A = this chain, B = another copy of it.
């Protein structure tokens, strides 16, 4: 594209509307965006979290280092209050890198890329070997019945469908076997389950995520296969139903472990006891660096505090940053936080969480009353020029979910979903895959919303 100076000047003239420029809020929000985009601090923080700390699944040494680091960073920001909130988290570890191969009289032996699903039991050092039965759905599995399933490895090879515009819908449509596949398989006597990774790309990365067992059903090992290897295995099975797959996982669950939510506050000048929460979750899966999920949310929410400080904005209400722990496995951080809010009878104005990755933000989803929804949606006039055009009632984010029934709006940052599942829960969720400007626009979106809620309230 050629962009003649004439064109671009014309364009600038159209965008910067002088009648808006006199309005205080327009200027304040413009300054928030400029500050967010000019500073490299969110990017530098994400780089540190990803590259110097790395993955940080609840209960692991990485999560301990991450807690210390966030606390240190907050202390360096001259906040009014920085503290930890004790919690007991579930503690599951992956153990050795997983190993898997298929062996076929026709195709020979080939290694496959797998990972254990979160909270799965391991196979033990000896591993698990068996014939494979491929299905696309629970219905198909049940139709086969115990006779065809018993003793085998069930291979759920349902695709994540491209046709959904919003990839979170594609994910919701496809994720069933990951969550309860081990239960369904075990009920028919399966020895283990393999699922096709829940992602829209074809790659060598297996994607993990939490799975469940049922109390009354035998626990069997569950793993995810990369989409490329799922396609390969499926092709081989077409010609050789007798092929065998071997896999070995040494993952294990340990007793619950002490960990922390990390909290930092700028006290409100008028209503210090009325709180606006801005948050993300500090834990992440252990295959990548948790860059999109949810390092981005953490550094964006921290950046809200920095932006307020840098612009010398004095909020009337207390802005409370929270780095929640254990979102991925048991949400103990979110649960504990809500418990303490209720115990202390703390008053909240709103709770905001960023947990849809570091892509370009499109707006906000809310769990709120109609009144609150109307109020917050009314900010659209100021925010749409920054791409924040979506205001949706229903759904927010997981950690703040537990604050339900307390009467204040819970708000999730809606981010572009197109690339999200390329990274989600995989070794591909690394710093390099977050774009610095998109990351910073998330910081700015959160800060602008906090600014408006602080000034105009929640309903």
Contacts and interface: CB of A to CB of B under 8 A. Distances in A.
A37 B159 CA distance: 14
Interface string A404-444: 00000000000010110000100000000001011001000
Contacts of A164: 37
Contacts of A9: 172
Interface string A348-366: 0000000111001010000
A176 B441 contact: no
Interface string A319-332: 00000000110010
Contact of A356 (B1, B5, B385): B1
B12 A162 contact: no
B435 A2 contact: no
Contacts of A149: none
Interface string A2-44: 1111011111101100000000000000000110011000000
A124 interface: no
A334 B200 CA distance: 38
Contact of A387 (B3, B7, B362): B362
A50 interface: no
A169 interface: yes
A421 B394 CA distance: 36
Contacts of A167: 437
Given A8-B171, A10-B395, A392-B14, A165 B385 contact: yes
A271 interface: no
B163 A38 contact: yes
The 4 closest A-B pairs by CB, nearest first: A8-B172, A389-B389, A34-B163, A1-B355
A431 B426 CA distance: 23
Given A3-B168, A8-B168, A15-B169, 4 more contacts: A1-B327, A2-B210, A8-B172, A418-B441
A397 B168 contact: no
B2 A327 contact: yes
Nearest to A163: B34
Contact of A12 (B10, B172, B356): B172
A165 B437 CA distance: 9
Nearest to A420: B1
A2 B165 contact: no
A34 B50 CA distance: 36
Contacts of A5: 172, 175-176, 179
Interface string A380-412: 000011110110111101100000000000000
Contacts of A356: 1
11 contacts: A1-B356, A2-B209, A2-B327, A3-B168, A3-B171, A7-B172, A8-B168, A33-B165, A37-B164, A167-B437, A360-B418
A165 B386 contact: yes
Contacts of A3: 168, 171-172, 175
Contacts of A165: 33, 37, 385-387, 441
A166 interface: yes
A53 to B, nearest CB: 19
Q: Which of A209, A397, A416, A418 has the most CB of B within 10 A?
A: A418
B37 A163 contact: yes
A303 interface: no
Contact of A2 (B162, B331, B416, B418): B331
Contacts of A14: 392-395
Given A293-B1, A331-B2, A418-B437, A389 B397 contact: no
Given A1-B356, A37-B163, A356-B1, A169 B395 contact: no
